[in-house]
Structures are given as C-alpha cells and as structure tokens.
Amino acid sequence: MTIAAALMLGLAQAAPAPAPAEKPEPPTPASIVAGAPGSDWRSIPAGDLLVMDLAGSRRVVIQLAPAPFAAGWTANIRRLAASHWWDGTAVVRVQDNYVVQWGDPTEKKPLPPGIEPVAESAYVTPLDMIADARPSIGAQDLPEASARAKRLSDIAIRGTVTQAAPEGWHERDSYAEWVEVLDSWPLAADRTNAWMPHCYGMVGVGRNLSPDTGTGAELYTVIGQAPRHLDRNIAIVGRVIAGMEHLSSLRRGTGDLGFYKTPAERTPIVRVRLASDLPASQRPAFEYLATDSDSFAAYVAARANRRDAFFNLPAGGVDICNLPVPVRAVK
C-alpha cells in the first residue's frame, strides 16, 4: 500500500460519525391549539354573545351560559339587553385580585317588564337535567360514580394520569368531588348536581343578602385568583371571551370592597346588546376548540404535563381554572 493510500484510509477511519438527529420539541399548549384543524372548532351562536361597549371604544364580549345552567338569570339578561337597560350605566367597582362589577350606580333605575326572581336552588343544576337538556351528552358522560369509565371526558385525560391521581386531573380539586369541562364550560360537581366555578373571566350576578339572588342587572367578572369559595353561593351566567383587558386594567376603587367613591371614577357603559341584535357589519363572531376533540385532549395533557424546554418537572395535573378553553375570533 502506498503512503498516500494509507493516509486516505486513516482519514476515512477517523471521520466523525454523523450527529444523531435532534428529537422534536415536545408540543406546547399554544402549538397544539395553533395546529388544531378547522374541523375541531365550533361556532358560538350570535344569540349567546353579550356585547358590552365601554366609553373609549372598548368592547367586551361575554358568552352566556347554555341551558340548563342559570337559565332564569340568562333569560333576564337577554330581556335587559333587548330593552337597552344597561345603556348609560357604568362600571361601579374594581377590587384588586377579585372582581370588576357593573350596573346602575343609583340602584334606582326601573327594570324592564318580564324580569323574574330566581330561586337559590338554581345555583346548582341536577345532573339528570343536564343530560336531558343537551342531547349530545348521555348519562354516561356525567360524573356519576357508576359510569366514570364511559364518560366522554376520558378523551381529555390522556397523559394526565399519575400515581397520585389515578384518574387524571379530574381528581385535583379542593372545592368539589369532581371537576369537568363539558361542551367547553368548566364544571364542578358532586354525585347529584353540577355548577360553574368562579374561574378568571367568569361572569356572575351581583346580589344582596340571602334570599335575594340578584336579577342579572348587576354583573361582575373575576379578575384575580379564582374565588372558588363563592361557588354555589352566587349565580355564574357566562364568561368573558374577548376584551378582558378592558376590565382587568381599570383603576382600582378606593372605597370599601373596591367601589368607586365618585362618579368621575366610573367607566361609562355606552351600550350592551346581544350580538344577534347588532347589524351584521358590527356583529362579532367567535368559535371554541371542541372539548371532545383529539386536539383538546392533547391540549389538556400538555397543560398538565409541560415537557417543553423551559420546564424541569411536569406538574402531573391541572386546576380546572387553569384550563381555559381556547376561543378565537373569526371573520
């Protein structure tokens, strides 16, 4: 063998092995939502959207809770919007890490005809009533101990089962036997009733002392850590799905419980309408990620067990109020 051939052979033998292919970055909740196919999104009916325009061209959109949840209050809210009752009212309270509240500052404005009182029993909804009112949901899909293995939401706990939580994130709650996301809405439940929890952005009905339950004329939204102790004590009637920044960033009230002391501090409400009552050119449209889809199942698993580069240790669970259902505006 010539010296040149030997050198060439040595170089070939000493050549470094090709670098192993890099493992793909684990998906994040945001990347899963961004990659969800169009078939995994569901439209929100315009008649379920309450559009509140604040002074300064600031718009807040609230999705009203579906039947049978809070049906008496949402019926009142629809009547209030149809009569333009909120026009000229104001945001009257902003309490840090708690709520923003709005309504009639004088508390003397007459209510329109048809506003009905609602019983305290309506703070919760019987599981049987939920199954009867929502044809897409069967009894096996609700949190009954005898049917847990068959519920629809089993899809949404893939990858969230741990030794500490053998049935996944559903067991990780301090205020209820069971928590769920059903048709995009967060629920807490026992073996008889379900109720909507006080998560960030949820909208509730202001009231006085029991037995008063509020009419729906005075509303609030949560702007801080979820005050779950209010669950089953006040009616939840919807959630803010757009414009939350216009409420959470408002100046905090300096009076008791965050109420404003002077009219000048309040934020005027220009108008409140159902989206279905607005001209087509002004009507917002939104859709949500279907909670019975594979995309949502992957989203839940990713939120419960973050494995992307920033995280050192997956949590192995997720709080019901830290599982916001993705909603997006559409043209």
Mean pLDDT of 105-133: 93
Please enumerate in sequence order all residues whose Cβ is within 8 A of that of 181, keeping only pairs 6 or more positions apart, or say none. 153, 156, 187, 291, 296, 300, 320, 323, 325
In degrees rounded to 5, what are phi and psi of residue 249? -95, 0
> Is the per-residue pLDDT at 200 higher than 70?
yes
Sheet-wide strand order for 286-289: 41-43, 286-289, 327-329
Please enumerate in sequence order all residues whose Cβ is within 8 A of that of 100, keeping only pairs 6 or more positions apart, or say none. 91, 93, 94, 220, 221, 223, 247, 248, 250
Mean pLDDT of 84-106: 98
pLDDT of residue 198: 98
Model confidence band, residue 155 (pLDDT cutoffs 50, 70, 90): very low
Model confidence band, residue 11 (pLDDT cutoffs 50, 70, 90): very low
Structure tokens of 283?
Answer: 């009507």
Model confidence band, residue 151 (pLDDT cutoffs 50, 70, 90): very low
> Is the per-residue pLDDT at 158 higher than 80?
no
Lowest-confidence segment of 16-30, 118-132, 133-147, 151-165 by average pLDDT: 133-147
> Is the per-residue pLDDT at 206 higher than 90?
yes
CA distance 327 to 331: 13
**310 vs 257: which has the higher pLDDT:** 257
Closest by Cα among 183, 182, 174 to 231: 174
Closest by Cα among 173, 277, 286 to 239: 286
CA distance 123 to 213: 9
What does the CA dihedral 241, 242, 243, 248 come to, rounded to 10 degrees?
A: 30
Model confidence band, residue 148 (pLDDT cutoffs 50, 70, 90): very low
**pLDDT more than 90, % of the chain:** 66
pLDDT of residue 14: 53
**12 vs 223: which has the higher pLDDT:** 223
> Is the per-residue pLDDT at 86 higher than 80?
yes
Model confidence band, residue 16 (pLDDT cutoffs 50, 70, 90): low
272-317, pLDDT tens digit by residue?
A: 999 999 999 999 999 999 988 889 988 988 888 888 888 888 887 8
Structure tokens of 135?
Answer: 């044809």
**pLDDT more than 70, % of the chain:** 82
Most confident of 10-19, 68-77, 135-144, 304-313: 68-77
CA distance 201 to 36: 24
